[in-house]
Amino acid sequence: MFEKVLVALDFSQYSQKILDRIIQIPGIQDVILLHVLDATRPISRKWTCGQHFENVKVLMAEKQKSLENLGLKAHTKIDAINEITQSTISRMILEIAETENVSLIVLGARGINPIQELLLGSVSSFVLRHAKTNVLIMHFASLSADQKGALPSPSSTKLFSKVMVPTDFSEAASGTAELIKTIPGIEHVVLLHVVNRGDSQQEIDNYVKETQSRLVDMKKEFTSVGIEVYVHVRVGDPTEMILSVTNEDDVSLIAMSAHGKGWFHDLLLGSTTFTVARKTKTPILVLRARPET
């Protein structure tokens, strides 16, 4: 499903955890490993010369070899931003993703702001908003910004084993559900709709009843291809309900559309999708275009 994947590396704990699970991405064949050196910061200038730059090349070669041992094609790219290029790490990632025509960008979530659970770093946030292709943000609940020492062992749960598919019944959300049905290896799907309107209890009850019926119809489509489905209808704030059900059902991945006319909206304007990506501790796949099959 996602044959050509761009993985942005910063050699943090998140980077290694991403590589531990990269083989679980359906259809993956070709991986571009990208590291962007930020020469605009004094501490980073040291990494663009001499032995420090050589260390980066050695590390990238090691990661490339580990992927090739898994049977994947792997390529490395090391680029730098400086006062002359007047670019940013985020823009460099987007430029290379477009030039290489990748079907998926994979990033780690590394927000360090302790206010309001801002778990999405500035690079991941910018890429998620502006990418023209699909983006997978890899959250890892077991890793904290100040954690020291050895890494936890890779999760035994497969990335695509139990996928949460929230829907506002928009065309984009329906397209996401259709795509999820075609991805091999998915064992369980959690369908969720959140009722967030209604001027009276009777009106809310009517929406809930109507929604349950529509979700049951969606469930039949998934079960017809051998996927076990759990259906949920919640009333309240879409973001909070998505996060709550994700935790309750021990979801391995959240899949959402970048666009929609309901509570998904558009990532450039602010949306439920973007807010979930900020707050969740579960990997989230944000879909913009149907990957080539």
Task: Per residue of the chain (293 residues), give pLDDT as tens.
Answer: 799 999 998 887 778 889 999 999 999 999 999 998 776 665 545 444 556 677 888 999 999 999 999 999 999 998 877 655 557 889 999 999 999 999 999 998 865 444 433 446 788 889 998 999 999 999 876 544 444 444 444 445 799 999 999 999 988 899 999 999 999 889 999 999 999 988 899 999 999 999 999 999 999 999 999 999 999 999 999 999 999 999 999 999 999 998 877 777 777 666 899 999 989 999 999 998 544 44
Cα gap 121→278, rounded to integer Å: 8
- For 36-67, give one letter per residue: b (16+ CB within 10 A) or e: bbbbbeeebeebeeeeeeeebeebbeebbeeb
The DSSP string of 151-215 is PPPPPSS-TTSEEEEE--S-HHHHHHHHHHHH-TT--EEEEEEEE---SSHHHHHHHHHHHHHHH
Whole-angstrom Cα Rg for the chain: 20
Cα gap 105→215, rounded to integer Å: 30
The per-type count for the chain, helices as H runs and strands as E runs, is 9, 10
Cα gap 182→271, rounded to integer Å: 26
- Can you tell me whether residue 137 is helix, strand or coil? strand
The answer to whether 216 and 232 have CB atoms below 8 angstroms apart is no
Domains of the chain: 4-138 (3.40.50.620), 162-279 (3.40.50.620)
